[in-house]
Structure formats: structure tokens, C-alpha cells
Chain A
Amino acid sequence: MRAYRILARLWAWAGLWVAALLWAINVMLGLNLSYADCVKQIHASAMISLAALIVTCLAGVLSWRSARADMTGFSSPRTFRFIGALSALSSLVFGFALIMQTIASVVLTGCER
């Protein structure tokens, strides 16, 4: 199988798995980085959340485009489009959670108890 086809298949899933993974990492970091945010008065949580949000959006776009491109050589292109659309839609939900987390980490200093 040609490399670009393998990549296209991976990209089709990216919106789901990349977004979910980044969101999960961000949740764990948010729980723990607040101590550092408070002590050093940096918005590390905000910066990481924003970066995760941007990558999530990119992953969603990638899923959408790769599924549309139909260059996978997959036996069921309809199913492949389904996967791409499913992943892109999922990235929107995780993106929404990341937006809220980014806003929270901008508004709060990490010192609030």
C-alpha cells in the first residue's frame, strides 16, 4: 500500500483520536499545573490549552479533507467518508471543551482555593 494512502487513513481518524488525546492530556495538566501557575504567576495552563485547541482544529480539518479526498484505495469509500466526518465532528466537541478550558485558565490565576 502506498504511503500516502496509509497516511490518508490515519488522518481520517485524526480528528477523533488527536483531539481526544489532547483534551485528556490537557485535563490532567490543568489539574496539576495550577500549582505552578500560582507560584510562578505564569499562564502555562492557558498556553497549553490554546496550543491543544489549535492542534485539535487542525486535526479536525485534516480528517474532513482526507475523507473528502478519497485517495485511500479503501474498498468502501462511503465508510471512509463516514470515518472522516465522524472524526471531524468529534474534534468540534473536544474543541469546545478546550475553548472553555483555555478561557478558564486565562481568567483564573491558579491560586484560588
Chain B
Amino acid sequence: MTESVIGPDTRDAELERPLVDAALENTWATASGFWSALATVDHKIIGRRYILTAFAFLALGGVLAILMRLQLARPEARLIGPDRYNQIFTMHGANMMFLFAVPVMEAMAVYLVPLMVGTRNIAFPRLNAFSYWIYLAGGLLLWVSFVLDMGPDVGWFAYVPLSGPQYGAGKRADIWAQMITFTELSALAVAVEIVVTVFKQRAPGMTLDRIPLFVWSMLVTAFLVILAMPSIMVASTSLILDRLVGTHFFNPAEGGDVLLWQHLFWFFGHPEVYIIFLPAVGMVSTLIVTFARRPVFGYLALVMALIATGILSFGLWVHHMFVTGLPRLGESFFTASSMAIAIPAGVQIFCWIATLWDGKPVWKTPLLFVIGFIFTFVIGGLSGVMVASVPFDAQVHDTYFVVAHFHYVLIGGSVFPLIGGIYYWFPKITGRMMSEPVGHWVFGLIFIGFNLTFFPMHILGLQGMPRRIYTYQPDMPWHGLNLFVSASAAVLAAGFLLFFIDALRSARAGLPAGANPWDAPTLEWATSSPPPSFNFARIPVVYGAYPLWEQREALSVADGLRVDRRELVVTSLVAAEPEARESSPRNSIWPLWAAITTTVMLIWSIFSPWAVVWGSIPVAIALIGWFWPKRVPEDEA
């Protein structure tokens, strides 16, 4: 039936809605079967995989945290030896930062950004598939090596000379450095996709001042990734060269510089915090609007805050290096920037509170997590201002005070909004609601468990307990609080366990959600839950920042796209005026092959520099297959 009316160059305007749906499904759907699953370039399928994989790494990282808390619960514990403990805290940090926090935020963007801007797929969808496979390979590399007792033991920052050839025997530091290459490659790929999607694939009418705040936040985050990640890739590659080839980038005896490592690492490492935090800001801004039942207060100020925070984040890195002996005047410039970044953060907090104040808040689980976020992030921000001060930082550097601070910022600032975001977008992703009563329990356990676990660490730090110690003597004044912290960590773990159980149960047996269960205003809710393979039968046209609230009767749509091939609307950068119809790539197995060959080359290069030469041949073959000309026009103006 469908085929009989669909000829070459058939446009959606020529067909009735059921026929459009059927034709688009035929064009865009991923066929069932193993190979089709591997070859898919659907951003929703890849986004789901990303999210699930990232949460699996969160669970593994959480297990490591529990092991550390068991070890530290009492003095002179013998549960874990010092060598394994070094691996565990390194794995915990590296896993949480590189395999969970950054990828999960990008994963949410991979799923949501195309829907929120009203397009049918992410830009460069094959690159998107490649990025997932590379990310998975990097994660497996790290965890398999840990299981084989080859896990890195040099801290998530891998400072030289500890990680250099003089002190880092074996391949543990190389595993860390190469895992960086995998995850950064993946992150950079997704960042490029997001920038192009937001700049060129927004729905007609979605001018710069109508872009959803989550999309703004991901745009700024993507630029941060593009600007920050090369620094760590250069650093990790230089480290591998020092260790494998015998270069001396970080060897002062041969003209190298140990401090260069810290500069390169933290030039990436501090923006990394904002790469994790800014998407959460976007999530909070989105959730508050929906549950306060009113437009956000201070849209302009919030966008300014996102951009200013993103840029300022590049001028803070030296505040991780206050005890390295740099001139105080130079350090004071970074203190100034560290203080200044509190301004946009404060602006955001005030805008959110004002939105809630003037709205009619509906106290569903996602909003509870937003409130939890505001509470914990303000505490983390205040302790951040404290450690931005050179004299104070010199006192608490490398103590548990810093551990408490960055967990308040990272868990409070990112994981709370993320869990809230999962409760919020779960119906869109699965078509089913998560349990509201269980959600309240999850929030209560996580919020109480988190604060009871991490707040006492401030006190432990002020009492002088250093970071990264595998045990301590009974006569130190820390054992009471450590036992309390470990017991509280069990409450926190119970909260996450309940969250996972709720998510798994709800995905199978949750209440059906409908297209827009929260009566939310942004475009991802304009399509069914879960969305069809083509996202939107006809591309939405936007006349405001909250299209589903402003066009309650019927959403305006554009037509004229072909249904017999994958097509998108390309729009202008500022005004989002339609410019062209562009084809979107079909499914392909080549991104997987490219990822496999790249993985072989990168892992091999830990052991031999010749791997880069010989390993690049299969990579080149895979890329030739990927980009082989299709002899069809790519876009039509």
C-alpha cells in the first residue's frame, strides 16, 4: 500500500498523515536483527546505549566507593592492601569522570538535543555511532585491565613523575593514558555533532533567543569539550611517548618540565568540572520551568551565565596548583577568576528561585532533585570559594576537605539534576512513567545519605586527614567520623540501588506515559513517547521559547521534505530561517569497523610504537569504506 504511492521525490505535503508516518518509518527505521542493531545511526538508539552504559559504569564506580569506605571504616583495616587501594581510588576517579560523568551528559544530549530542536537526527550520525563504540572500548580497556591487576594506580590526574617511566613501572599508567584517548575521542565527536545540530538543524523559527536552555547548555558544553580536551590528549600522548619511546617531555633532567603536566592536565581538568556541571544547569532550568508552571525568570541572564561560566572556566586551572610555588601575583589572577565565576553561578540560583517563587510548583520527584541540587550545590559553591583563596587552599590541599568539596560540586551539582532529569525524561525515552512514591524514597535516601556521607569529610579534612591514604592509625582522631561516613555511604548506596530497581521495573511495567505527561513546553514532548524513528512526521515551526504552551491547539509545522529518503531541514545560524533540505546518512556498519580497528591500534600502541604505523592501515580501510561515494546529491537548497 505504502510503496504504491511512494515514488521517487515524494514529498510529505502530498500525502495524508498515516501515509507520511508509514513512509517515514520505512525510510528511517532500524530493522530488527543483530547486524542492524550494530549498524544503526538513530540518535535515540545510540543515546539509550550511551545512557545505559554510563549508568553501568556509575554502578561499578559506586562499588569501588563502597570498597573504599569499608576499608576506611576502622583504623588499620586489612580488607584492601595499599597497592589495590591505589588502583581502586584511581579507578573510581577515572571511571566516574571519564566513563560516567562526561559521557552521560553527552548521552542525554545525543538523545534529547535533536528532539528539542525539532530535527530528525543528530548531525554526523555515523560519527555518533563511532563515538559510542570508541567510548565502550575505552571503558572495557580500563575495567578489563583492572580485573587483570593492571588497573592504573596513579590517581585520576596521573601526575608525573609518579606516572612517568621512572616511577610508574608496568603498563598501568599507559592504560590510564590510552583510556583518555578513547574517551576524549568519543567526547570530541559528540561535541562536534551537537554544535552542528544546534547551529544548523534547529526548527524554523527557533531563533537564538528561543533555544531551550538545556540545548544552550549543551552547546556551551560542546565548545568546552572542543577547547579543553585537546590539552589532555596532548598530555596523555606525551606521557605515552615518554614511557614508550623515550622522549623527555616531563623529565627535568633532559630539559622537560614536570609542572607542564599539571598545566596541561588542569587546563583540561577545570573546564571538565563545567563540562559536567553546565548540562546539569540546563536540566535544572528545563525541569524548573515545567514544574513551576511558568516561563523561566531571566532567560537572558541564564544564557549569559552559561556562556560566561564556560569561558571563565578556562581561567581557573591554576587554582589546582596553588601549592606548586608559582608567584602569588599570578595565582591571584586565578583567584580573581575563581571568585568571578561565582557571579554567573549566583545569577543562575537567583533565577531558579525566582521562577519557583512566582510559579505554582508541582512537587514531583524531578523537582525534589532540583531542590536537593540547589541545597547541595550552594554548599559546594561556598566551599569552592573557600579553596579559591590561596592561604586557605594551602592549608587544606590534599585533605578530605577537598574530597568533600568536589563531591558536593560534582554529585550535588550534576548527579542530583541528572537523576531528576532521568525521572523527567524517562517517560519520553521508554514510554512509561517511573514510580512517584519510590522516587520520593530514592530522593530521600540519596539526599540524606549524600549529606551524611560527605559533609563530615569537611571536618575530617580540617582535622588533617589526607586524601588517598589506604588506612590510618588508631590514635588519630579520625576513626569515629570515618565509621559514621562509611555507615552513611550505605544509605547513599541504598538510594542508588532503589533508583536502579525503579528504573528497571518501570521500563517493563511502569504506567504508560503518553506524549506529554508533564504538560511540558519544549519540542521533545511534541512527539509520541517513545518517539518514532523519524522523530517528527512534519518539522515543527516555532514562534516562542515554549512552543507547546504557546500553541496548545495545534503545533505549526513545515512540510516539503521527501519521505523516500532521509532528509532534514537546514536553517540559518541566528534566525533559524530554512536554507536547504539535506540528506541524513543511512545506517552503516563501517563506524563499528572503524572503532574496532582504532581500538586495536590504540591498545597495540601501548606496547609498540610501530602499532601506529601498521595499525593505521586497517583504520584507513575502514574510513574508506565509511566515506565511499554514494552518488546521490547530499542537499538541495
A90 x B307 contact (CB < 8 A): yes
Q: Which residues of B contact A23 (CB under 8 A)?
A: 311-312, 315, 337
Q: Are A27 and B334 in contact (CB under 8 A)?
A: yes
Residue of B nearest to A27 (CB): B315
- CB <8 Å contact, B333 and A86: no
Verify if A45 is at the interface (C-beta below 8 Å from B).
yes
Chain B nearest CB from A35 CB (Å) reads 7
CB distance from A56 to the nearest CB of B (A): 12
CB 8 Å contact bits of A27-55 with B (1 = contact, 0 = none): 10011101101100000010000000000
Across the interface, name the chain A residue whose C-beta is closest to B336: A100
Given known pairs A89-B300, A108-B332, the reply for A27 and B337 (CB within 8 Å) is yes
Q: How far is the CB of B63 from chain A (nearest CB, A)?
A: 40
Let me know if A66 is at the binding interface, CB within 8 A. Answer: no
Q: Which of B207, B301, B312, B329 contacts A110 (CB 8 A)?
A: B329
Nearest Cβ distance between residue A108 and chain B, in whole angstroms? 4
Which of B207, B209, B307, B336 is the most central at the interface, judged by chain A CB atoms within 10 Å of its CB? B336
Are the C-beta atoms of A38 and B315 separated by less than 8 Å?
Answer: no
Question: Does A93 lie within 8 Å of B343, measured CB to CB?
Answer: yes
Main secondary structure of the interface of A (DSSP, over half): helix
Bound complex: CA of A52 vs CA of B343, how far in Å?
Answer: 19
The docked-state distance in angstroms from the alpha carbon of A78 to that of B325 is 50
Residues on the A chain within 8 Å of B343, using CB = 93, 96
* Cβ of A16 under 8 Å from chain B: yes
In the complex, which residue of chain A has the Cβ closest to the Cβ of B337? A97
Q: Are B304 and A86 in contact (CB under 8 A)?
A: yes
Is B577 positioned at the interface, with any CB of A under 8 Å from its CB? Answer: yes
Known: A89-B304, A97-B312. A104 touches B329 (CB 8 A): yes
In the complex, what's the smallest C-beta–C-beta distance from A84 to chain B, in angstroms?
Answer: 10
Cβ of A112 and Cβ of B328 under 8 Å apart?
yes
The one of A45, A97, A109 in contact with B315, judged by C-beta atoms closer than 8 angstroms, is A97
Which chain B residues border A59 with CB–CB below 8 Å?
none
Bound-state Cα–Cα, A23 to B304, Å: 16
Kindly list chain A residues whose C-beta atoms are within 8 Å of the C-beta of B301.
Answer: 89
Which among B311, B325, B337, B577 is the interface contact of A75 at CB below 8 angstroms? Answer: B577
A62 at the interface (CB under 8 A from B): no
Cross-chain contact A100 with B329 (CB below 8 angstroms): no
Known contacts A79-B208, A100-B340, A113-B325; is-contact A30 B307 (Cβ 8 Å)? no
State whether B300 touches A82 (Cβ < 8 A): yes
**Cα-based distance from A97 to B303 in the complex (angstroms):** 19
Chain B residue at minimal CB-CB distance from A21: B311
Q: Is the CB of A109 within 8 A of B574?
A: no
Which of A45, A79, A94 has a CB less than 8 Å from the CB of B308? Answer: A94
Q: Tell me if B18 counts as interface (CB < 8 A to partner A).
A: no
Q: Which residues of B, 303-355, contact A by the 8 Å Cβ criterion? A: 303-304, 307-308, 311-312, 314-315, 318, 325-330, 332-337, 339-340, 343-344
Q: Which of A34, A79, A109 contacts B330 (CB 8 A)?
A: A34
Q: Is B575 an interface residue (CB 8 A)?
A: yes
Q: Which of B585-611 contact A (CB under 8 A)?
A: none
Does A8 count as interface, using CB distance less than 8 angstroms?
A: no
Among A20, A31, A75, A96, the residue within 8 A (CB) of B333 is A31
Whether B208 contacts A112 by the Cβ 8 Å rule is no
- Cα-based distance from A74 to B326 in the complex (angstroms): 49
Assembly CA distance A101 to B337 (angstroms): 8
B327 to A112, Cβ gap below 8 A? yes
Chain A residue contacts of B311, Cβ below 8 A: 20, 23-24, 94
- The answer to the question of A83 belonging to the interface, with a C-beta cut-off of 8 Å to chain B, is yes
- Contact residues in B for A96 (Cβ distance below 8 Å): 340, 343
Contact of B574 among A30, A76, A97, A111 (CB under 8 A): A76
Whole-angstrom distance between the Cβ of A98 and the nearest chain B Cβ: 8
- B308 & A113 in contact (Cβ 8 Å cutoff): no
> A16-B307, A97-B337, A104-B329 are contacts. A78–B315 as well, Cβ < 8 Å?
no
> A24: which B residues are within 8 A, CB to CB?
311, 314-315
Task: Decide if B208 touches A35 in the complex (CB within 8 Å).
Answer: no
Q: From A45, which residue of chain B is reached at the shortest CB distance?
A: B329
- Known contacts A76-B575, A79-B208, A93-B312; is-contact A86 B330 (Cβ 8 Å): no
Measured CA separation A89–B328 after assembly (Å)? 30
Other-chain contact of B326, A26, A27, A31, A86 (Cβ < 8 Å): A31
**Closest beta carbon of chain B to A17's beta carbon, Å:** 10
Ordered by A's residue number, 24 sampled pairs between the chains whose C-beta atoms are within 8 Å are A23-B311, A27-B315, A27-B333, A30-B329, A30-B333, A31-B318, A34-B327, A45-B333, A75-B575, A75-B577, A76-B574, A83-B208, A86-B303, A86-B304, A89-B301, A93-B312, A96-B343, A97-B312, A100-B340, A101-B336, A104-B329, A104-B335, A105-B329, A113-B327
Among all A-B residue pairs, the 3 with the closest Cβ atoms: A100-B336, A30-B333, A97-B340
List 6 extra interface pairs beyond A24-B314, A100-B340, A104-B332, CB under 8 A: A30-B332, A31-B318, A76-B574, A83-B574, A104-B335, A112-B328
